[in-house]
Structure formats: C-alpha cells, structure tokens
Chains A and B, each alone.
Chain A
Amino acid sequence: MVRVAVTGLGPVSSIGIGRAEFAAALRAGRSGISPISSFATTGFVQRLAGEVVGFEPAALLRRLDPTRWGRSSLLAAAAARLAIQDARLVPEQVPAGRAHAVIGTTSGESQVLEALTGQIVEAGFAAQDPDLLEQLPANRLANAVSTELGLHGESLTIATACSAGNYAIGYGYDLLVSGEADVVVVGGADSVCRWAHAGFARLGALTAGDCAPFDRDRSGILTGEGGAALILETFEHAKARGARSYAEVLGYGMNCDAHHPVAPQLAGIVECMRLAHRNAGVKADEVDYICAHGTGTVANDLIEGTAVLEVFGTIPPPISSIKSMLGHTMGAACAFGAIAATLAIDRGFLPPTINWQRADPALPGIDPVPGSARPARVRVAQNDGFAFGGNNAIVLLGALS
C-alpha cells in the first residue's frame, strides 16, 4: 500500500502569506477581516470581507507573467510556489510527467468575469477586452500552477464549489496511491467578488458583523479569498530525497446529498463522515480534531454539528472553524482547512474559533476551541468540506507513525 505524505504548505491568506505567518496567526486567533477594497460596497449593508490585502504576485512568482493571468490563477500559482519552496522540492528533479497539479475553485476567475460584465453594461458585448476574455476559463487555475512550476503531469481544475479543495486533495491522493504520480501539488483558490457577496447577502447568509461559527447567535458568513496549496508525495519519494513530512493523508470520502441546490442535508453529511472514516481506515473515536466546514450560517453549523454528534456521540472531538478568521474562502477553504489540520498535527495545537461567545443549546457537547489556540496532541484530524449542490468531501489526515 502506497502511503502519502504532506511535505509542503503554501498559504496565501488574509491572515498571513507563507507557512510561518499563517501558523502564527492561527495560534494567535488573528482576524483577516477588513473593509472591502476590491469592489465598491455602496448600497450594501455588509461591507467586510477576508481580502488578501498584501498580495503581490510579482514578489512570489518566478515564471508566470502576472499581467497575463487573473487573480485566482495568480493566488493558486503563488500558493503552489510557496508550497514547493516549503517542501524544498526542485520540480525539475521529479521525472517529467510524474508531478501533477490539481486545484479546486468555486468561481474561478470571478473578478475577470466581473470586469467583463462591467464592460458589457457600459458599452455592449463588442466592447469587451479580448485579453480579459483569454483570462476567463477556470481551467487556467491549475494551468497557472503547472506553468509556474514547470510540471508536465495532469493539470486539473476541479470546480465543485466550496468543497473543491478537498476534492483536489482526494484526487491528488488517488494519483499517488494508484502509482500515477510521485508528487502532486493540490489546493484551491478563489477571489472576493461582488456578485457572490450580493448572492450570499440576498440568501440571508452574509453577516454584517463578525463571523462566529457555532455561536448561538451566529449570523452568517463573510466572503473571503486566497490561494492554498499543499505538496503531497509518496512516502518513498519523500524519503528518497530526505524531505521532512508534516503529516500523512489517510484517505477521504465524497458523496452527494442529491437533495437541494443550496441547503445542506444531515443524512448526506453523516454518511460522508462515515465514508471518509471507512476509506481512511479510521474509527470515529480515533479522531482528535475536526477542522470544520463551519461557515457561520445558522443552517450549516446546526447540520454539521448535529452530524458530528450523530457520528461521534455525546462527547465529540473539538471542532473549530478557521472561517472565523479567514471568512469563507470558497474553493480555497478546504485547502486552508487541510493546512490548518496539518499544522495542528505537526505543531500540536488546535486552531481556534474566534468571535465565539455563547454555546448553542441545539449543539450540546460541541467544543469549538473558542478564542485562542489550545495545545493538544493531534494524531488524526478530520477536514470537512460541504458545498452548494450537496457536494460533500471529507479528508482525514494523520500524524506520521
């Protein structure tokens, strides 16, 4: 049986760029939320988001020309560059075709689409900038990573909305286990955009204040953005090059509620947790920490928490939501979750849920690790990902034994 190690971490987030900054921010429970600068918020009640304010692609990228790629592609490629540096991996030393790129996203190049729409509204279809149209296809996110790192393997963008990062990790894991790859760069990326902000606002899912997952009075998500990448490698390949490994990918499970375009369903999520445990060879009582999907909406947190109580019993493992700090980074969310869970295992701490004040009486026994990080030995971590369309995916990570 081929085993899969996590050997590199590349977060480009609103709470820090690079592994060290991100880990320090998680420990401190730092908020990445700020007034929105990427679009005009006039007319909106909600004016906050988790933007990556200090993102300078040219400072991080070596091969990509930032003028030719959209923001989400640049976030993905920058995250991948950081992850490969963190892994101290030289892509040219991996045999051609044995290193792949798999990137998840919800809305692809949403800011490019928004700019084009502005041009259509302003002056009609014929007025669109052809260079922007070239930047629009969502497959460019993975293609940006492949180009930046010079990878000859598969270059796949997975667009299963807000669980796409876990789909990407899962597919990358399978490529390694089935012998198709030595190294896979996996992750996710998305950009803050006006239409998604409006859509969540109209659904009543967007908070005007703090994002407070699992709090009794939680009032919704904040939109966020970022790029998050992990280097997955076979144990054999990692060992041969003397790499340091942070954690092991134990397995994953995916299913579909087949129920509703936006509302999550308890049965599907319960089944997905059990499926992920089965595939990973993990028993529920071996899970030490759950990195929650935890969006901060009334519906998600109720259903996720209820599913956890059903699967794990009355004393479930601690479950925290880093979306309290980052906002909902959409297609990058699960990849950020996987980075946080990996750091939890490697560094021995539980990332907190910030902004949490009052326990939800509907979720007795849920421990959201409120406020700041808590030291803990984490041997097995569960990373939850749910999405519009009932696209559920859960990844299990473990300590290296």
Chain B
Amino acid sequence: MSELVIAGWSVLSSAGFGAPALAGRLAEQRLATAPVHPGVDVSPLYPQPMPAPTGHALLELDARRQLGRKGTSCYDRATTLAVLCCQQALQAAQLDLDGEPELPGALSRDRVGVVLGTSLGSFKSTSDYSRETLVQDKPYQVNPMLFPNTVMNCSAAQLAIRFGLRGVNATVAGGGLALLAALRYASNAIDRGHAEVMLTGSVEEFSPHRAWADHLTGRSGPVPTGEAAGIFALSRTAGPGWTGTRQAGRLLGVVTGFGPDGADSAEQALAGCVARLLHRAAVAGTEVRTVLTGETSRADLGEYLPATRALGHQPERLLTKQLFGDCDAASGAVALAAFLAVDFDGLGLITGRGPDGAVGAALVKGAADVGTHRR
C-alpha cells in the first residue's frame, strides 16, 4: 500500500471535544501519580444501575444542542459522536461540506468515502429494540424510526446523509482492532481508486450495556469503560486527485493478520505484522519512538513484547486506555489521536490484538515530522 496523508482529523473523548482537550489530559496525566484515570461520575447519564460509579463518558454530548434539531431526532449516542467528530474532521481538513454545494478543487462528493470501525454498532440501541419486542403488548410494537439504529452501518450511513458523501460507505467490525481495520480498508479504497478521500475512524458509545459487559467479562482489567470517536481524513500524498491542503500527519502503512492457533500464534502474527510494516515503509525499527498499545496495564505485555521484538528495541509505551478508558472499537482512534495531538519525536506504532487471535499495527508520522522525515 502507499503512504497516505492525514489531511485533518478530530477526536471526541472523555477529556472533551477535539484535540486540545485530549492533549490536555495527556499533559496533566504525566504529572499525576495514579496511572489509571477514573473518568467522571456517570450516574447522570442513565437511570439503570451501573457496575462502577465512574467511567469515561462525554457528559456534555447533546445531539440537539450541538448539531441542531434537523435530522438528529433519531441519533443514538454512537451516531452523535460520529457526526460531531466528522464535522470537526472535515473542518480541520478544510473540507467543510456542511451546506456547501461545491467542494474545494475538482473534488466530487462521489469521490469522498467513509469507513467507520465498530464492535457491534450500538449494543444499547439494538438491545433496547430487542427489549421492546419482549415488553410491549404485541412484539411488533417497536419504533420503525429507530430500526436503522439496530444495524451496524447506522453511524457511517448518517455521516453520508448529513454531509452528502456519496463515495464508498463502509463499516468494519473489528472490536479493539476496529481502527486498524478501518485504516486498512481506507488504504485499499484509495489505492484501488474507489475514492480520493476516505473519512476513516471508529466510534464507541458509553452505555450500561457496555459497562456491564466489560465488568462481567473482566476484559478491561483495571480500566473503566469509555466512549470516544476519532475520524481522520485520508488522501494520497500526490495527485492525481485531491491530496489535502494541509498535512496533520501521515499513515506510512497498516498491516493486519491473524494467529489461528492460540496465544503464541497471535504473538508471532503481531510481530510479523510489525516486521512487514517496517519493511514496506523502508524504515528502521529504531525510528519508532512511541508504541501505543491496546493494553490496559504495565504488566500486560501481550502487544508490547511482540512489537518490540520486531522493532529490535524498546521505545516508550503509551497506554491510552489508562487515560481515556476502554473505548473498545474507538480505542485505536484515541491512540492515533493521542500520537498526533502531542508532538512526539519520531514515528509512532499503534498496535492491536483481539481475544480470538486478530492482530494489527499501523505506522504513523506526526505533523512535525512530515516533510523532514527521510525515506
């Protein structure tokens, strides 16, 4: 795959709207003594009992207030996060499509695509819908307007509708690897000429359903449940086609794979992904100075160990889940946003590993290094 430009991006996290809030949390946590940020009191969000008093929710999120009345009445939390984040990413990429009939340059709306990563869409919207079939007098007394919210492509489709994006519109289900899967999908879409710009990201909402699932499975370790969205506008580095008016960073490559034979096989697969990334991007492992993993504690080395084995050294490790919670599908987007928001030296490696053996890694370069980095 070819290297891609990140022409603009945005993130919504428990730290607030946009990159500065995220960067602020990263800076303040460097001074903090406790490694795990507890999040906020989540009791105002839902009437249902929660397994823990705090979580990483964006309490201020309000579709009607932040996006207006029009078209937003059926948005669930995931879609609200995605639409707000996409609006900001489009602005950052100077592709402000809201209400604009014409795009910059010769870019057609047919050539602007979307790919969003998810775990299963909105667990809450779907389960609530299923619940209605059990608790209403008749099982079909469900709200037809909310039916699309039970389908996993809801958020991506709403981005297309809101911003008039007629290019390829995809949703990939990747759980903790969702952002990597979305980056991979976007790279292919651009390489193969299906789109000039791919709005690429992932989203996950906070809900009692997710908080209880994390609690009952114990899969998030010491980290509270979180919500977030991150969307990155990707394009080619050189024409033909739109290449962006600014460069907020670069995606040097992304590789995903699978270890079908248990833990050792998954570790080998992850090390193999990292080695292949370095080889394809023609960079030395020593140029990677920051590794951003999906691990939840310093003691967990399931990603860091195979990654560093392939890198040949042990660069700084950033555990973004400790600061922003376990945002499942959006975790990778938070990691990429964290790398871009802070002026890290050198290249960043974002890794992911799922419980069934899925693995992946992406190699990225921050704005400060764009143009100065030698190939």
A residues at B contact (CB < 8 Å): 42-45, 97, 101, 105-109, 113-114, 116-118, 120-121, 124-126, 128, 130, 133-134, 136-141, 143, 146-147, 149-161, 167, 171, 174-175, 177-178, 193-196, 198-203, 254-262, 268, 271, 387-391
Contacts and interface: CB of A to CB of B under 8 A. Distances in A.
Residue among B1, B157, B164, B218 with the most chain A CB within 10 A?
A: B157
B120 A121 contact: no
Given A43-B139, A143-B358, A389-B157, A117 B212 contact: no
Residue among A42, A193, A254 with the most chain B CB within 10 A?
A: A254
Residue among A152, A256, A268 with the most chain B CB within 10 A?
A: A256
Contacts of B118: 138, 159
Describe B's contact surface by its main secondary structure. mixed
A251 B184 CA distance: 20
B156 interface: yes
Given A160-B169, A203-B144, A256-B166, A171 B151 contact: no
Contacts of A118: 134
B313 interface: no
Interface stretch (B30-38, B82-90, B172-180): B172-180
Interface string B225-253: 00000000000000000000000000000
B296 to A, nearest CB: 17
Interface in B124-180: 126-127, 129-135, 137-144, 147-148, 150-154, 156-158, 160-161, 163-175, 177-178
A138 B188 contact: no
A350 to B, nearest CB: 30
A156 B181 contact: yes
B272 interface: yes
Contacts of A139: 119, 173-175, 177-178, 181, 354, 356, 358
Contact of A391 (B134, B153, B216, B218): B153
B152 A114 contact: no
B171 A159 contact: yes
Is the interface on chain B under 10, 10 to 19, 20 to 34, or 35 or more residues? 35 or more
B156 A143 contact: no
B161 A261 contact: yes
Interface of B: 1, 48-49, 51, 74, 109-110, 113-114, 118-121, 123, 126-127, 129-135, 137-144, 147-148, 150-154, 156-158, 160-161, 163-175, 177-178, 181, 184-185, 188, 191-192, 194, 208-209, 212-213, 216-218, 256-261, 269, 272, 354-358
Contacts of B357: 143, 146-147, 155
Nearest to B116: A159
Contacts of A153: 257-258
Contact of B152 (A43, A125, A133, A161): A161
A207 to B, nearest CB: 14
A128 B211 CA distance: 12
A199 B170 contact: no
B256 A198 contact: no
A167 B167 CA distance: 13
B150 A107 contact: yes
Contacts of B192: 174, 177-178
26 contacts: A43-B137, A107-B150, A113-B126, A114-B130, A117-B127, A117-B130, A121-B135, A125-B51, A136-B123, A143-B354, A143-B357, A146-B260, A147-B260, A152-B258, A152-B269, A156-B184, A156-B256, A158-B172, A159-B172, A178-B1, A178-B188, A193-B130, A200-B147, A202-B143, A202-B144, A255-B110
Contacts of A121: 131, 134-135
Contacts of A258: 109, 160-161, 163-166, 169
Contacts of B141: 202
Contacts of B213: 128, 133, 136
Nearest to B48: A125
Contacts of A261: 74, 148, 154, 157-158, 161
Contacts of A114: 130
A262 B147 contact: yes
A257 to B, nearest CB: 7
A199 B216 contact: no
Nearest to A155: B258
A97 B280 CA distance: 15
Contacts of A151: 258, 260
B110 A159 contact: no
B157 A256 contact: yes
A291 B150 CA distance: 27
B358 A198 contact: no
A140 to B, nearest CB: 6
B188 A154 contact: no
A42 B139 contact: yes
Given A390-B157, A391-B153, A125 B212 contact: yes
A61 to B, nearest CB: 14
Contacts of B142: 195, 198-199, 202
A199 B134 contact: no
Contacts of A177: 192
B356 A147 contact: yes
Contacts of B129: 195, 198-199
A97 B257 contact: yes
Nearest to B184: A154
Contacts of B212: 125-126, 128
Contacts of A146: 258, 260, 357-358
Given A117-B134, A195-B126, A152 B257 contact: yes
Nearest to A173: B192
List the 10 shortest-distance A-B pairs measured between CB atoms, nearest first. Answer: A389-B157, A138-B173, A256-B169, A159-B152, A199-B147, A261-B148, A258-B160, A143-B356, A125-B212, A117-B130
Nearest to A193: B130
Contacts of B144: 199, 202-203
A157 B272 contact: no
A181 B351 CA distance: 22
B119 A138 contact: yes
Contacts of A120: 127, 131
Given A155-B357, A160-B156, 9 more contacts: A97-B272, A121-B131, A139-B356, A156-B181, A167-B170, A201-B140, A255-B110, A268-B166, A391-B153
A142 to B, nearest CB: 8
A120 B144 CA distance: 22
Contacts of A109: 120
Contacts of B147: 199-200, 202-203, 262
Nearest to B119: A137
Contact of B133 (A106, A134, A171, A194): A194
Contacts of A254: 168-170, 194
B172 A156 contact: yes
Contacts of A143: 258, 354, 356-358
Nearest to A253: B194
B4 to A, nearest CB: 15
